[in-house]
Structure 1
Amino acid sequence: MRLILENVDEKHYRLLKEMAKSLNFTLKNEEEAEREYSKEFRDKIDKGLRSEAEGNGVKISIEDLWK
């Protein structure tokens, strides 16, 4: 089960972090959550983004998408 907390004040964050540790919960920050994707998958996404930035992408209009 996952619990996501957003917009937590720093003083409350420290308290919640200590409570979670005392209950043996696993804590992950946003950066760690991003690393859940495999390196191979992230490399493919990065390659596609670089290719698009270099102008090697193909644009399809929404109207033509379902033809």
Structure 2
Amino acid sequence: MTQLELTQCLNLARALNLISSSRSIHGVLYVYSTTGYPRRWDSFIAEYPLERLQAMATRMQIKLESAN
């Protein structure tokens, strides 16, 4: 995963309220849920790859636009 893809994933995950923050501990990236629960990045990205996050964001945008 490139740095750009990592940044996109983190930004999308925050926008979708899947994570609230991220942190590197001893070279291992962790993301934190909105309730503060930590999860290793490799575990998170296995469940939410970039393509899935992009699709989720698109669906959210369509839903918001149709509500207006």
Give the TM-score range, shorter chain: 0.3 to 0.5
Q: Which has the higher contact order (CA 8 A, sep 6+)?
A: 2
User: TM-score normalized by structure 2?
Assistant: 0.34
More strand by share: 2
Larger Rg: 1 or 2? Answer: 1
User: TM-score normalized by structure 1?
Assistant: 0.35
